[in-house]
Copies of this chain bind each other. A is one copy, B any other.
């Protein structure tokens, strides 16, 4: 039996190159202003070669959105799994998700901007991933309230406000700016702990 090849397959590397080219093109010209030809050319491939991997421009956008949400969710799950107390869990979750949105701000911003361009079934799938993220944050907040570590008036509004702050980092963050993703993440951890009334930590 052959030893399993753990490196990404050639097809997977080509798909990753296509997604990166699509992120750059859509960031410049918007989803509706970008053609499959633009994406293929930027990835140094023919349009026919693109169609081997993705059946449409919308399929490429969906893959980008799914990747991005899956990665943000993985960061959030790992943060929660690494700690026992809700204070530490919330800090790690905000730190991880904010740093991720700052580092990956180009793809995160096009995902947020172009959600309306997804087909209904795909939009629903991404919507479910967003609901999962909201559920993770809400669960940490609920546990913090139950353990008397957080003081929160409206759990759902507090959850949404925390997510708004984190998501919007992708809109304003610039890699060429004065701040590193890590500095922004640490600053947001401080703000988040204050929001939930855990600022004494």
Taking Cβ atoms with an 8 Å cutoff, the residues of A that contact B are 30, 32-33, 113, 116, 153-154, 157-158, 160-161, 164-165, 167-169, 171-172, 179, 184, 187-188, 190-191, 194-195, 197, 199
5 A-B pairs with least C-beta separation: A164-B168, A157-B187, A194-B194, A32-B32, A161-B165
- Total copies of the chain: 2
- Give the interface centre of A158, A168, A184 by most chain B CB atoms within 10 Å: A168
Within the assembled complex, what's the spacing in Å between the Cα atoms of A88 and B103? 36
Within the assembled complex, what's the spacing in Å between the Cα atoms of A32 and B116? 13
Residues of B within 8 A of A165 (CB): 161, 164-165
Kindly provide the distance from the CB of A116 to the nearest chain B CB, expressed in whole angstroms.
7
Cross-chain contact B160 with A191 (CB below 8 angstroms): no
Kindly provide the distance from the CB of A200 to the nearest chain B CB, expressed in whole angstroms.
11
- Give the interface centre of A154, A169, A197 by most chain B CB atoms within 10 Å: A154
Residues of B within 8 A of A32 (CB): 30, 32-33
A160 in contact with B172 given A30-B116, A32-B33 (CB within 8 Å): yes
